């Protein structure tokens, strides 16, 4: 073998090169700008998503208000008046009352106007045991969509004197061949 390379001296050791002032300056600038750029990206994504959600909410609200349900304005009036009543009743109270009274009375007004949604929001443990009067379900058929678990079967009060409850299937799901769901008792033999 030919000695092309010289053998390193026996007492040599590896010394890591220390970066110079220029390298240290660039590293500092790079880390600072990296953090700033990351923060800017996060803010941009947050603002962009907020703007997109706001625009979508505006479009949905416009479509809903362009053709509102027939009982929307009276319900909105009840909720607004109850909130204003809370505001008036708490005008000389503490800061807590000024917040709690309007919110509480507006919530109470919304609960009166939208009873089915209020029950769903309250997250009742067993939705099969919710009692909804037949008059309420008849009036809600045309204005408020019921959730799936309540639309297939709803509990109504029986007209009998015993006061027992019975399950009444939703007339929309039953096909009896009649032209109106109110005529269900006329076609009871066709099941």
126-139 per-position pLDDT tens digit: 455 555 555 555 55
Least confident among 53-57, 59-63, 120-124, 181-185: 181-185
Q: What is the pLDDT of residue 170?
A: 54
Half-sphere exposure of residue 44, counting CA atoms within 13 Å on the CB side?
A: 6
SS3 157: strand
Residues facing residue 63 across a β-bridge:
none
Give the residue carrying structure tokens 């929309």: 172
**pLDDT tens digits, one per residue of 20-71:** 889 999 999 999 999 999 999 999 999 999 999 999 999 998 998 888 888 8
Per-residue tokens: 191: 């099941």
Predicted TM-score (pTM) of the model is 0.40
Q: What is the rounded distance in angstroms from the CA atom of residue 116 to the CA atom of residue 110?
A: 11
Q: Tell me the pLDDT band of 157, cut-offs 50, 70 and 90.
A: very low
Give the residue carrying structure tokens 């045991």: 129
Q: Which region, left, alpha or beta, applies to residue 35 given φ > 0 means left and ψ of -120 to 50 means alpha?
A: alpha
Q: What is the rounded distance in angstroms from the CA atom of residue 80 to the CA atom of residue 109?
A: 8
Averaged pLDDT for residues 17-21? 86
Q: What is the rounded distance in angstroms from the CA atom of residue 71 to the CA atom of residue 79?
A: 13
pLDDT at 122 over 60: yes
């Amino acid at each position: 073998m030919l000695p092309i390379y010289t053998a390193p001296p026996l007492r040599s050791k590896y010394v890591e090169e220390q970066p110079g002032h220029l390298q240290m300056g660039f590293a500092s600038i790079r880390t600072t700008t990296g953090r700033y750029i990351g923060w800017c990206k996060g803010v941009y994504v947050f603002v962009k998503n907020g703007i997109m959600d706001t625009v979508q909410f505006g479009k949905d609200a416009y479509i809903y208000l362009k053709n509102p349900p027939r009982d929307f304005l009276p319900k909105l009036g009840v909720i607004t008046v109850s909130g204003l009543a809370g505001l008036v009743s708490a005008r000389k109270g503490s800061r807590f009352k000024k917040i709690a009274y309007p919110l509480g009375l507006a919530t109470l007004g919304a609960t009166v106007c939208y009873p089915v949604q209020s029950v769903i929001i309250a997250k009742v443990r067993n939705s099969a045991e919710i009692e909804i009067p037949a008059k309420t379900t008849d009036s809600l058929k045309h204005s408020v969509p019921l959730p799936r678990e309540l639309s297939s079967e709803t509990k109504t009060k029986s007209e009998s004197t015993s006061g027992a409850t019975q399950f009444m299937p939703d007339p929309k799901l039953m096909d009896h061949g009649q032209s109106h769901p109110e005529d269900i008792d006329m076609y009871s033999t066709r099941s």
